[in-house]
Amino acid sequence: MSREYAKNVQGLPERLRQNRKMRGLTQAELGAKAGIAAASVSHFETGQRAPSVASLVRLADALELSTDTLLGRGSANSTMRVDPIFLRASRSSAKTLDLVKKVTEALMDESQEK
């Protein structure tokens, strides 16, 4: 394992745990989505083991994050907490995205009026 990878893996357990919990997933559910054993996810979250690059990519894909974000190398904007529903919406058609934007704006306007 390279020094750079080892250095970046140091904060990985907590980032992995936070992102999994933010998405309402159990370790078993994340493992299933990523094609990784739940025990391995547990080991990664406790820092007992560091994931291989292939496992890191699978975890990032399952969490809909970049590997840079999991490694703590992303910009401040990329590590902001974003609800997974907005991540899904951002990948929708232009028509769906426009509808989500209008509904969100209406809800925000309503909450500011109160």
Q: Over its length of 114 residues, how does the chain's per-residue pLDDT go in tens digits?
A: 555 555 557 789 999 999 999 888 999 999 999 999 999 999 999 999 999 999 999 999 999 888 888 888 875 444 456 677 777 777 778 888 888 889 988 998 887 776
Cα–Cα dist 36/59, whole Å: 8
CB 50 within 8 A of CB 1: yes
Tell me, what's the pLDDT at 110? 82
Domains and CATH numbers, the chain: 1-80 (1.10.260.40), 82-114 (no CATH)
